[in-house]
Structure 1
Amino acid sequence: MTLLILPLLEAVSDAGAKHLTTGEFFAENGGQLFSFALSFLLIANFWMEHHRQYTEVTEITPALLWINIAWLATIVWLPVPTAMLGQMDTDPLQETVYIGTLILTQVATLAAKLYLLRHPDLTSTPISRVRQDVAGDVAAIILFGLALGIAVVMVDQGYFALFLLFLTGILARALNRLWSRRAPGSEDETVGDDEPGGPRTRR
């Protein structure tokens, strides 16, 4: 997250060399300021979810460690497409690299949760909640994919399609309801109706 500020620091140096005023700096670097704010917010959201998930992980296996490293690689790479967004003309490939990186981050997050579903002894999180979190990740991946499609078609305003992510909670609840109806009659313990998505099962 801290690396995102580096292009703006370079822009300040350039503005000083050009003897720009503060107002002129902000006007000239509006794209970089937008890309910084957008990426900072997205990474913050990924980090908070990561912290919540791993706070309840009781043991790390080599497989889970490598999934975590893959997730971290996408986070480390994100400042590069962020700098592209702020400093270069927008084109479909740029949007594909930027939003595609976000999709890979979400896929790595999903992979960790699917691994924990198969190894519930590694976490103190109730399996019913892990399943709900899986639905949230799948919903986010779907919406990122839609945003990418819209961005490629509407190049100039494409990044605003990322506001679709505000629908993640709604889509996740719909997926939870769908999955709970398609897997009835489990022999496992039934979870109460008060949980999002209706009745569920817990191992």
Structure 2
Amino acid sequence: MADRLGGQQYSTERFTTFVDAVVAIAMTLLILPLLESVSDAGAANLSTAEFLEEHHGQLLSFALSFVLIASFWLEHHRLYAGVKGMTGGLLWINIAWMVTIVWLPVPTAMLGQMDEDPLQTAVYIGTLILTQVTTLAAKVYLRRHPALTDLPSDVLRRGVLGDVAAIILFLIALPIAAWVHPIGYAALLLVILSSPLERLLNHATARGRRGRGTDDARDGSDH
């Protein structure tokens, strides 16, 4: 298979183990600012209620990022459960994916400890967009190299459309979160609509393929 794909093959098992470790470390890093805040609260003799009130932003940002990283990892796990081999190209796509995961604790800490501003929002949601883009790149790569995976092409196509839908919704959520302060990061709830949007995209692309097929058939009959 390596010769057909034109690249060196790497161990899928070692790769997935490495990814799991990176994700676990990133999720652990999310809690570190909160641990420091607990130490500061103890030194200031704050009560538990006072700590929770003063640091509710940190708690919410921790929970949000923890859920998001877990969701990204679950999607990654489902995708690579069917991958039989790793090429250099696919490996580098995943290294880019891991960079976004490891970076996310930084804007999370900014979100929990600093005053909100549009640039902070752009950094946080921009990181989520990059994670989704690298996920999309991996699926596109696997569609172009079907020998690497057991997943059917139709499943990968739906996955591509799902990623495109999520990216669109993140892009819509970004300006809302940045400039519509009563809504703020609640705009990220728009991602819940990714499944309906994916179905719309699937319907649109299917109709486009049928239209092209009809045109090709008409051209063939003309000849």
Give the TM-score taking structure 2 as reference length: 0.82
Q: What is the rounded CA distance, in whole Å, between the counterparts of 2:133 and 2:182 in structure 1?
A: 27
* Cα displacement (A) at 1:156: 5.5
* Cα displacement (A) at 1:62: 0.2
Structure having the higher helix fraction is: 2
Match 2:165 to one of 130, 136, 139 = 139
Aligned length: 186
1:39-118 pair list within 5 angstroms:
39-118=65-144
Larger radius of gyration: 2
Q: What is the rounded CA distance, in whole Å, between the counterparts of 1:71 and 1:81 in structure 2?
A: 16
State the Cα RMSD in Å: 1.0
> Any gaps of 5 or more consecutive residues in structure 2?
1-26, 215-223
Corresponding letter in the other structure for 2:156 = V
1:22-37 pair list within 5 angstroms:
22-37=48-63
Q: What is the rounded CA distance, in whole Å, between the counterparts of 2:119 and 2:183 in structure 1?
A: 14
CA contact (8 A) 2:176 2:183 kept: no
User: Stretches of 4+ moved more than 2 A in 1?
Assistant: none
Corresponding letter in the other structure for 1:68 = N
CA contact (8 A) 2:169 2:190 kept: yes
Corresponding letter in the other structure for 1:121 = A
CA contact (8 A) 2:90 2:138 kept: yes
Q: What is the rounded CA distance, in whole Å, between the counterparts of 1:143 and 1:128 in structure 2?
A: 23
1:132-175 Cα distance to aligned partner (Å, 9 max, x none):
00000000000000000211221453211000011000000110
Q: Who is 1:171 aligned against?
A: 197
Sort the Cα spacing of 1:156 and 1:9 in 2 relative to 1 into closer, same or farther, 3 A: farther
Give the 3-state SS of the residue equivalent to 2:30 in structure 1: helix
> Any gaps of 5 or more consecutive residues in structure 1?
187-203
Match 1:12 to one of 24, 29, 38 = 38
Give the 3-state SS of the residue equivalent to 2:194 in structure 1: helix
Q: What is the rounded CA distance, in whole Å, between the counterparts of 2:192 and 2:94 in structure 1?
A: 25
Corresponding letter in the other structure for 2:173 = A
1:40-95 Cα distance to aligned partner (Å, 9 max, x none):
01110000000000010011000000000000000000000000000000000000
Give the TM-score taking structure 1 as reference length: 0.90
Corresponding letter in the other structure for 2:143 = L
